[in-house]
């Protein structure tokens, strides 16, 4: 049985060797986050993830959350684990110190989040959704709302949810029909049915704070007539203690392919006289507020993809070391070897490992950019870094999650027949990962965001700036070195392909949005692939320098070189084909009659 | 709710327009299989698949097969469906008329098999395994064994199983430890535990005929000391009627990711005094017999991939027509449209559809080649066609099943959040498909077979002969026609890539088997991709000719052109990258220290 072990050494490599921690320390107020403190936080989080959350992962999968007459019971042990999570201060890690949070930089909290998701993604969803609710109230709520709700949300004493989806309004939130009537005293009565509400009902805490999209009377049609409300499960008494049940009820929970431990609720608001709610911000600006939080949520789902991938890799690797089958290829000996010795198994493992490391390095780079974009004294630097964040969010979200599905599927494959047996655990990762390319905006939606809002709108400026930065990295790899030459060469070719893709979008998007949309997902995959290649090229350069200098553990740095070489020679060669799909994909998919599909 | 409808029109296109039926009719004894008769068989099978098997698919998934004290009960309705299947004569379709079969050509029975698998792959496994047992007895059994067992296996009154795997012997059958002691009267007593036995125990029939690999006393070590035995669940009395239980017991069945309706048994042979068995063929030649049947079984799993893909496509298409969400991209209208109108959904659907059609055309081409290889009067033609079959079997098996996983996953994606809800049905296809790249030889094993036995061993002769045939097809596409030019161009480039791959294998395999093995799976994917492109190019040429001639349904033929164009411009461009992985993939995966993974 494989145990989860937080990849602290790889995380440290990114923070220290790739210099991300040093860049964080250069920000005002972050001077004291030294390597030792960072390592201490990550090690402690790793212990909690391995010791408390990981053992509950299969329990949650097997038992699932269970609905009974409107109440939802989480799986055995989950309530206690959540209590420990809150008591350990983990919920408050990245939240604002003003209301009790610890204000840890996004760079570090991203690493911690990766661990929660690797250990138990169904559990990790609960604090992730709470963070979303916190952010909504913090950014847009009144002082009174903040004082009432933030301290308990930040401590984790209460959890939060995001209520967007309705049966007819999924990707298209303009179709939201839930409504909110003004009571005249500043409160509202909310009516409507919401579906797919993660942790919409559960037994972990005494109260749940729902953030709900609904329309007020007289609101304009479409996206500009949606308001955001805070609707608690339990109303508070005068002293702020949970008192009477509000008019919101969990009608059912879904029977899902994966993340069984996480209850996905259908919530009915206002079946009696309306659920009491408080407006967040101003009327009719709810969707705008949602969008302002969406970057954070999408980034977090990208981190889910990284965590799930790491976990699937660790499990497959443990099996590949332990399972002996067949003799060594090309050897006369008939002695059985661990399947790790078989070239195709090594190929699959390195395909997993190299992508995990590429996704992680890219994800943390974006996390750091969030810290810089909010904390740097120079507004020009802040603007630049925010543009980088905005450009990369759809890539981190969609590329990391598409990879996660493929990586979890390879994890099943490495287990052979045992991978198909549920008790092995590999199949759960695939089932769990399968939702990550769908929620918080499907891969198609991320790709349209990347191509339309993030590239066409600024005529490719942010994308070309990043390409220049990546080319600079490629140039720094000495081509005279055999270990680095193939990496630099492959990255150069892949960057050419990416640049052709960006040019194509800039030139054609406005006139031919439907044609460009046909190639948007392949282009997003190309973008992620190349950005990951950039990160691994940086890793390889640093590793090579360490080996030259004779500092650190040579086996570790040699592995970094081999991992980057594998990515360069096995994964980057697909870049050109992906670019061609965008630039020369043709219009057959648009020309095909609807009836002829 | 989407219903399965057999793709009769597409099947007819392959049989009639692509000329496969005419080539079948040219064989001795097949003159009478006209288009009308073929269509009648397929239509009748389609009715059975849609009407009887498909409605039981989700029942089987939900209830699963249930074990109780050694007995296994199939899901509600399955027993009755199996009875109808047998009564309809479906089990005997492709079997030898000598023992009651109908001797239908492989070309047609492949199409029928596709339907069983599309409707209900967990059900389809039962007759598939029975066919394997039939083939083993027919090819290698004594006259007495044939007379005793074949009629009831062919009618389907009894079912058959293949007992290969043991806990320590999966991909590596040399490690089989089950043993068989000679009784002195020509029978044996078999002892040992077998795992992963599909339909190893069930309530569909009165008897089950197990084909079991085991070692006789004094047998050589390894693969050359394995014998094949026929071990019935129930021994027969003198009149040939099932009488006393043999010493074989179902210890448990597995809890699996998918194909829940199909019981996967752990069987204990000889817990008391040994399970009575009869030797099939000669002692120590069991593995050789298994290999002679393996082509058929691997081909059938490829057909499973095609059936599952078709079903996933039909379900996703039905949802995409029905679900309205968002406005038309590039249109000022805010009216909601079916998601089929969204470019990215069209891209996903055509990625599914084009591959389904490519896999089907290739699969049926191989099925026809099996018919020619066994029925053509000219031994040279038989030899050539057998070489084609041998070359393509690993491709049909692995490429179709790897595609099936991806296609079923795209099917989930098209459903958005609903795809993750089990009741929708899309997730089941993904869960079911996930086994197909594992059983009957993993994708890695297929790739090694392709690269080693099928290409390196004959120095690429069969592969180059196929490439020449594909180049000839590419040449026949008139480049002056806008509709065909991109198809021919893309196929040319993809063929160049494939030819580079074949040359690389021929040149380097013997000296560098481990290096070549690192690129074997990407090369197999390349092979399937190009062979599928060849089939769609043929389809496009025929469709274009029909449109020129003004014969047939123009909408149908235009769709064939668009589908081939999509495949050429969205899928074939990855060919070059796949070839590069083989030719320039480097050795980093071999050089990496085992401890550093």
Average pLDDT on B85-101 reads: 92
- At which of B237, B261, B284 does a domain end? B284
Query: Chain B within 8 Å of A422 (Cβ-Cβ)?
Result: yes
**Residue B189 distance to chain A (closest CA, Å):** 28
Partner-chain contact B350 A588, CB within 8 Å? yes
Partner-chain contact A518 B347, CB within 8 Å? yes
DSSP-derived secondary structure letter, A451: I
Q: How far apart are CA A448 and CA B45, in angstroms?
A: 43
Query: Chain A within 8 Å of B172 (Cβ-Cβ)?
Result: yes
DSSP-derived secondary structure letter, A266: E
Query: Chain B within 8 Å of A552 (Cβ-Cβ)?
Result: no
How much is the pLDDT for B336? 93
Q: Which of B347, B428, B529 to probe by mutation at the A interface, max A CB count within 10 Å?
A: B347
Q: How far apart are CA A444 and CA B413, in angstroms?
A: 9
Q: Is the separation of the CB atoms in A306 and A400 below 8 Å?
A: yes
In a domain, A433, yes or no: no
**What count of other Cβ atoms lies within 10 Å of the Cβ of residue A142?**
15
Q: How far apart are CA A448 and CA A516, in angstroms?
A: 9
**What count of other Cβ atoms lies within 10 Å of the Cβ of residue A464?**
17
Q: Is the separation of the CB atoms in A133 and A199 below 8 Å?
A: no
Query: Chain A within 8 Å of B337 (Cβ-Cβ)?
Result: no
Strand residue runs (E) in A221-369:
227-232, 234-236, 242-245, 248-253, 264-269, 275-280, 324-327, 336-338
How much is the pLDDT for B334? 83
CATH number of the domain that residue B177 is part of:
2.40.110.20
CA dihedral defined by B285, B286, B287, B293, rounded to 10 degrees? 110
Q: How far apart are CA A567 and CA B296, in angstroms?
A: 37
Query: Chain A within 8 Å of B68 (Cβ-Cβ)?
Result: no
B171: nearest CB among A347, A348, A416: A416
How much is the pLDDT for B412? 98
How much is the pLDDT for B292? 77
How much is the pLDDT for A294? 84
Both tokens of A481, joined, read: 């070195």
| Closest alpha carbon within chain A to B509 | A330
Q: Is the separation of the CB atoms in B129 and B199 below 8 Å?
A: yes
How much is the pLDDT for A1? 56
Q: How far apart are CA B469 and CA B74, in angstroms?
A: 47
How much is the pLDDT for B1? 56
Query: Chain A within 8 Å of B392 (Cβ-Cβ)?
Result: no
In a domain, A7, yes or no: no
Q: Which of B343, B456, B523, B565 to probe by mutation at the A interface, max A CB count within 10 Å?
A: B343
Reported as type and span, the H/E element at residue A67 is strand A66-68
Distance in Å from the first CA to the final CA of chain B = 46
Query: Chain B within 8 Å of A326 (Cβ-Cβ)?
Result: yes
**Residue A570 distance to chain B (closest CA, Å):** 5
Query: Chain B within 8 Å of A325 (Cβ-Cβ)?
Result: yes
- How many Cα atoms sit within 13 Å of A441 on the Cβ side? 27
A:276-315 residues touching chain B, CB 8 A cutoff: none
Both tokens of A229, joined, read: 């409300």
Residue B157 class from Cβ within 10 Å (0-12 exposed, 13-18 middle, 19+ buried)? middle
Characterize B164-177 residue by residue with b for buried, 16 or more Cβ atoms within 10 angstroms of its Cβ, and e for exposed.
bbbeebbbbbbbbe
Size of interface A-B (CB pairs under 8 A): 289
Partner-chain contact B592 A254, CB within 8 Å? no
Which residues, other chains included, contact A112 with Cβ-Cβ below 8 Å and sequence gap of 6+?
A41, A42, A45, A90, A93, A104
Q: Which of A64, A172, A175, A347 to probe by mutation at the B interface, max B CB count within 10 Å?
A: A347
A594: nearest CB among B340, B412, B522: B340
| Closest alpha carbon within chain A to B198 | A417
Average pLDDT on B174-185 reads: 95
In a domain, B134, yes or no: no
In a domain, A252, yes or no: yes
In a domain, A519, yes or no: yes
Catalytically active residues of B, by annotation: 440
DSSP-derived secondary structure letter, A8: H
In a domain, B528, yes or no: yes
Query: Chain B within 8 Å of A443 (Cβ-Cβ)?
Result: yes
Query: Chain A within 8 Å of B513 (Cβ-Cβ)?
Result: yes
Domain count, chain B: 2
Query: Chain A within 8 Å of B74 (Cβ-Cβ)?
Result: no
> Mean pLDDT in each 10-residue stretch from start to end of chain A (597 residues)?
90 98 97 93 98 98 98 98 97 90 95 98 97 95 97 97 94 93 96 97 98 97 95 97 97 98 98 97 95 89 98 98 94 92 98 98 98 97 97 98 98 98 98 98 97 97 98 96 97 98 98 97 98 98 97 96 98 98 97 97
Partner-chain contact A434 B412, CB within 8 Å? yes
Q: Is the separation of the CB atoms in B329 and B343 below 8 Å?
A: yes
Partner-chain contact A588 B565, CB within 8 Å? yes
Q: How far apart are CA A471 and CA A486, in angstroms?
A: 15
Q: Which of A197, A402, A417, A576 to probe by mutation at the B interface, max B CB count within 10 Å?
A: A417
Query: Chain B within 8 Å of A574 (Cβ-Cβ)?
Result: yes
In a domain, B391, yes or no: no
Reported as type and span, the H/E element at residue B208 is strand B208-214
Catalytically active residues of A, by annotation: 440
In a domain, B511, yes or no: yes
Q: Which domain holds residue B185?
A: 158-284
Partner-chain contact B581 A558, CB within 8 Å? no
B573: nearest CB among A350, A556, A581: A581
Partner-chain contact B317 A434, CB within 8 Å? no
Query: Chain B within 8 Å of A260 (Cβ-Cβ)?
Result: no
Partner-chain contact A569 B558, CB within 8 Å? no
- At which of B226, B256, B284 does a domain end? B284
- At which of B236, B262, B284 does a domain end? B284
**Residue A514 distance to chain B (closest CA, Å):** 6
What confidence tens digit (pLDDT) does each residue in B50-81 have? 999 999 999 999 999 999 999 999 999 999 99
3-state class (DSSP) for residue A142? coil
Partner-chain contact A417 B423, CB within 8 Å? no
Average pLDDT on B146-170 reads: 96
Q: Which of B420, B443, B510 to probe by mutation at the A interface, max A CB count within 10 Å?
A: B420
Q: How far apart are CA B145 and CA B228, in angstroms?
A: 13
């Amino acid at each position: 049985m494989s145990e989860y072990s937080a990849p602290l050494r790889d995380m440290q490599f990114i923070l220290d060797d790739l210099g991300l921690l040093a860049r964080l320390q250069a920000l005002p107020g972050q001077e004291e986050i030294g390597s030792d403190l960072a390592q201490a936080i990550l090690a402690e989080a790793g212990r909690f993830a391995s010791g408390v959350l990981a053992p509950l992962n299969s329990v949650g999968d097997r038992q699932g959350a269970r609905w009974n007459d409107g109440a939802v019971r989480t799986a055995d042990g989950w309530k206690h684990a959540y209590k420990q999570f809150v008591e350990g201060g983990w919920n408050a890690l990245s939240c604002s110190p003003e209301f009790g949070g610890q204000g840890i930089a996004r760079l570090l909290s991203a690493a911690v989040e990766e661990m929660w998701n690797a250990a138990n993604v169904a559990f990790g969803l609960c604090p992730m959704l709470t963070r979303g609710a916190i952010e909504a109230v913090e950014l847009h709520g009144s002082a009174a709302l903040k004082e009432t709700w933030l301290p308990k949300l930040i401590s984790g004493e209460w959890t939060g949810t995001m209520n967007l989806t309705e049966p007819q309004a999924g990707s298209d939130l303009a179709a939201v029909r839930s409504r909110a009537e003004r009571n005249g005293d500043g409160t509202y009565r909310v009516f409507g049915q919401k579906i797919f509400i993660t942790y919409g009902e559960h037994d972990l805490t005494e109260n749940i704070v729902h953030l709900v999209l609904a329309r007020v009377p007289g609101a304009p049609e479409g996206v500009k007539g949606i308001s955001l409300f805070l609707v608690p499960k339990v109303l508070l008494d005068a002293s702020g203690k949970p008192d009477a049940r509000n008019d919101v009820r969990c009608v059912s929970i879904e029977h899902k392919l994966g993340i069984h431990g996480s209850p996905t609720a259908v919530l009915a608001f206002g079946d009696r006289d309306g659920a009491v709610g408080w407006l967040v911000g101003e009327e009719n600006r709810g969707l705008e507020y949602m969008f302002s939080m969406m970057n954070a949520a999408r980034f977090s789902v990208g981190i889910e993809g990284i965590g799930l991938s790491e976990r699937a890799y660790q499990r497959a690797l443990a099996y590949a070391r332990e399972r002996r089958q067949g003799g060594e290829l090309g050897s006369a000996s008939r002695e059985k070897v661990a399947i790790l010795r078989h070239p195709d198994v090594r190929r699959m493992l390195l395909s997993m490992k190299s992508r995990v490391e590429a996704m992680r390095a890219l994800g943390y780079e974006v996390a750091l950019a969030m810290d810089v974009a909010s904390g740097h004294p120079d507004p020009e630097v802040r603007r630049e870094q925010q543009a980088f964040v905005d450009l990369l969010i759809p890539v981190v979200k969609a590329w990391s999650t598409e990879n996660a599905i493929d990586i979890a599927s390879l994890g099943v494959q490495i287990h052979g027949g045992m991978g198909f047996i549920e008790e092995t655990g590999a199949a759960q990762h695939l089932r769990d990962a399968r939702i990550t390319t769908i929620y918080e905006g499907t891969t198609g939606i991320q790709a349209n965001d990347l191509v339309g809002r993030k590239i066409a709108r600024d005529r490719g400026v942010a994308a070309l700036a990043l390409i220049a930065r990546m080319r600079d990295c490629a140039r720094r790899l000495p081509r005279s070195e055999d270990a680095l030459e193939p990496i630099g060469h492959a990255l150069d070719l892949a960057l050419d392909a990416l640049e052709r893709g960006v040019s194509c979008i800039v030139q054609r998007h406005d006139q031919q949005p439907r044609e460009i949309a046909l190639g948007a997902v392949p282009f997003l995959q190309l973008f992620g692939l190349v950005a990951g290649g950039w990160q691994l090229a940086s890793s390889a350069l640093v590793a090579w320098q360490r080996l030259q200098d004779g500092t650190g553990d040579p086996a570790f740095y040699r592995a970094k070189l081999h991992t980057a070489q594998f990515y360069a020679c096995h994964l980057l060669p697909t870049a050109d084909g992906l670019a061609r799909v965008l630039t020369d994909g043709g219009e057959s998919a648009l020309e095909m009659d609807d009836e002829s599909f």
